[in-house]
Structure 1
Amino acid sequence: MAAVAELIRTEADGKISFGNHLLQEKRKKEGFEAGGDEYKVKTFKEITKLERNGMFVYESVPGTSVEHFAESENGVSFTVEGTEDAQITLGLEEDTEYDVKINGEDAGRMRTNLGGKLNVSVELAGIGEVKVEISK
C-alpha cells in the first residue's frame, strides 16, 4: 500500500481511499463525489481528516493513508498505513457498542459517546499497514 497521491479516489470495488501521511505540508481536496455523496479530505504527516456531506467521518493523528474505506449500517472497515502509531477517531452511531478487530485480532468492544465518536489506537510503527474492522 502507498499514500494516495490524488488525496482521495474511488476504487474499482466502489470503496474510497484517501489520505497521504507522507506530505510535509497540509493539502486538501473538496467536492469529491462518490456513491452519491460529497467528500472533503485534509491530509499531511500530522493529521488526516475526512468529511462526507459536511459531517465528520474519520480523523487520525498523526496523518495516515487509508485504502478501501467502506461504511455500512453495521460499521466500517478499512486498511490504514502510517509511519507512527496513530489515534483514529471515527464518526459512527451515537451511544452504540461496537466490536473492534485489528488485523483480525479482537481488540474488544467499545461504545461511542453521545456525539457518535469512537476512538481506536493502532500500532503502525514498523508494521506499515493494518486492517481495521468495526461492527455492531
Structure 2
Amino acid sequence: MAVVSEIIRVEQDGTLSFGNYELPEKTKVLDFEVEGRLYKAKTFYEVTKLKRDGELVYESMPGTAVHNLKITDKEISFCVEGNGNSQITLELDSNTEYKLVISDIIVGNVKSSVGGKVIFSVDCTKEPQNVILKRL
C-alpha cells in the first residue's frame, strides 16, 4: 500500500481512500462529491481528517493513509497505515456499542460517547492494519 497521492479518491469497489502522512504541509481537498455527499479531506504528517457533509468521519494523530473506507449501518471498515502509533477518532452513532477488531484481533467492545465519538490507537509501525467496528 502507499499514501493517497491525490489526497482522496473513490476505489473501483466504491470505497474511499484518503490521506498522505508523508506531506510536510497541510493539504486539503474540498467538496469532493460521492453519491451526492460532499467530503473534505485534510492531511499531512501531523493529522489526517475526513469530513462528510460537514460532519467528522475520521481523524488521526499523527497523520495516516486510509484505504478502502466502507461505512454501512452495521459496520465501518478500513485499512490504515502510518509512521507509528496513531490515535484514531471516528464519529459514529451516539451511545452505541461496537466490537473493535484490528488485523483479526478482537480488541474488545467500545462505546461511543454522547457526541458519537470512538477513540482508539493503532500501531502502524510495521505494516498496514485492518480495522473493523461492528455495531452490537
TM range (shorter): over 0.9
Displacement of 1:120 in angstroms is 1.3
- Alpha-carbon separation, structure 2, partners of 1:114 and 1:21: 30
Query: Residues 105-124 of structure 1: matches in 2 within 5 Å?
Result: 105-124=105-124
Task: Say which SS state the counterpart of residue 124 (structure 2) adopts.
Answer: coil
Question: For structure 2, which runs of at least 5 residues remain unmatched after alignment?
Answer: none
Displacement of 1:116 in angstroms is 0.1
* Structure 1 counterpart of 2:74: 74
Q: How many residues align?
A: 135
* Structure 2 counterpart of 1:50: 50
* Structure 1 counterpart of 2:65: 65
* Structure 2 counterpart of 1:12: 12
Query: Residues 29-44 of structure 1: matches in 2 within 5 Å?
Result: 29-44=29-44
* Structure 1 counterpart of 2:134: 135
Contact 1:14 1:35 in 2 (8 A): no
Question: For structure 1, which runs of at least 5 residues remain unmatched after alignment?
Answer: none
Displacement of 1:128 in angstroms is 2.5
- Alpha-carbon separation, structure 2, partners of 1:17 and 1:53: 17
User: Which residue identity does 1:45 align to in structure 2?
Assistant: Y
Question: How high is the TM-score relative to the length of structure 1?
Answer: 0.98
- Alpha-carbon separation, structure 2, partners of 1:30 and 1:44: 15
Report the aligned-residue RMSD. 0.6
Q: Deviations over 1:91-125 (max 9, x none)?
A: 10000000000001100000000000000110111
Q: Deviations over 1:33-65 (max 9, x none)?
A: 112211000000000000001111000000000
- Alpha-carbon separation, structure 1, partners of 2:119 and 2:33: 26
User: Which residue identity does 2:123 align to in structure 1?
Assistant: E
Contact 1:19 1:63 in 2 (8 A): yes
Q: Percent identical across equivalent pairs?
A: 44
- Alpha-carbon separation, structure 1, partners of 2:79 and 2:35: 19
